[in-house]
């Protein structure tokens, strides 16, 4: 069993197993840190969404909390001018390649982007950047769900759930840059892929990209 350590987050003392990642320690203690790509079970996080920055005493720059193992005496601040600036920029970058019409989204009210905006006082619209969204076709071929790449934040949680939880391996990332998206091999419709519609990917999706048809109705 790992040694228990005591750390301080926003002035609150909490105990955790040494080496646990700070993001999950904070969330377990009711301290919110924005996050999209973090997967608790993943030993080496991708840290691609760049939303989970915190300040740690003794470190010169903000660090991503999903990659940071806790150790005894660590003192953390989840908010600072630098952290807020980084989160605001990462958030707006995500929005610049995202369809922004919450009212028409199947996850309206249950979306992590909405939660982050609410928690951090951010707007769900572009204020400094212009939209770079190039409309991509929605895959409506499965019986139980659909995939809208225009609402995808490329967090990778669906790909991980499909491979590691469902053990199917029907989907992965394809293409590069602004055209990057999640798709079945050869970008075939999901209905023609090995997908068995177990909905593990839908459950993992934090936004309105993978939505159960039942939920939408």
Round the CA-based radius of gyration of the chain to a whole number and report it: 18
Find the shortest distance in angstroms from Cβ 93 to ligand FES.
Answer: 12
Contact 108, 101 (CB under 8 A): no
Rounded least distance, CB 147 to ligand FES, Å: 21
Residue 75 tokens, joined = 């003192």
Which parts of 42-101 interact with ligand FES (CB under 6 A)? 47-52, 64, 66
Nearer to ligand FES, 50 or 110 (CB): 50
> Residues 6 or more apart from 129 whose CB is under 8 A from it?
92, 93, 95, 96
Q: Binding to ligand FES by residue 35, rule CB under 6 A?
A: yes
Minimum distance of ligand FES from residue 39's CB (angstroms): 9
User: CA-CA distance, 134 to 24, in Å (whole number)?
Assistant: 34
Residue 209 CB, shortest distance to ligand FES, in Å, is: 16
Using CB under 6 A as the binding criterion, the count of chain residues that bind ligand FES stands at 12
Closest CB to ligand FES among 16 and 49? 49
Residues 6+ apart with CB under 8 A from 209: 147, 148, 149, 151, 152, 153, 158, 182
Q: Does 37 contact ligand FES by CB under 6 A?
A: yes
Under a CB-based contact definition with an 8 Å cutoff, are residues 202 and 196 in contact? no
For residue 143, give the 3-state DSSP assignment.
coil
Could you say whether residue 38 binds ligand FES (CB under 6 A)? yes
Given the rule CB under 6 A, which residues bind ligand FES? 35-38, 47-52, 64, 66
């Amino acid at each position: 069993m790992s040694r228990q350590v005591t750390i301080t987050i926003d002035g609150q003392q909490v105990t955790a197993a040494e080496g646990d990642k700070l993001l999950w320690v904070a969330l377990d203690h009711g301290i919110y840190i924005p996050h999209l790509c973090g997967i608790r079970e993943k030993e080496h996080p991708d840290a691609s969404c760049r939303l989970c920055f915190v300040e740690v005493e003794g470190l010169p720059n903000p660090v991503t909390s999903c990659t940071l193992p806790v150790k005894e005496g660590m003192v953390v601040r989840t908010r600072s001018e630098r952290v807020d600036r980084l989160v605001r920029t990462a958030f707006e970058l995500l929005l610049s390649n995202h369809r922004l019409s919450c009212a028409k989204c199947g996850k309206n009210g249950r979306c992590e982007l909405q939660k982050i905006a609410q928690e951090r006082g951010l707007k769900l619209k572009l204020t400094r950047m212009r939209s770079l969204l190039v409309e991509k076709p929605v895959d409506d071929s499965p019986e139980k769900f659909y995939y809208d790449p225009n609402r995808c934040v490329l967090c990778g949680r669906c790909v991980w759930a499909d491979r590691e939880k469902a053990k199917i391996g029907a989907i992965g990332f394809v293409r590069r840059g602004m055209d990057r998206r999640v798709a079945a091999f050869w970008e075939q419709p999901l209905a023609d892929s090995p997908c068995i519609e177990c909905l593990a990917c839908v459950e993992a999706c934090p936004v309105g990209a993978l939505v159960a048809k039942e939920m939408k109705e």
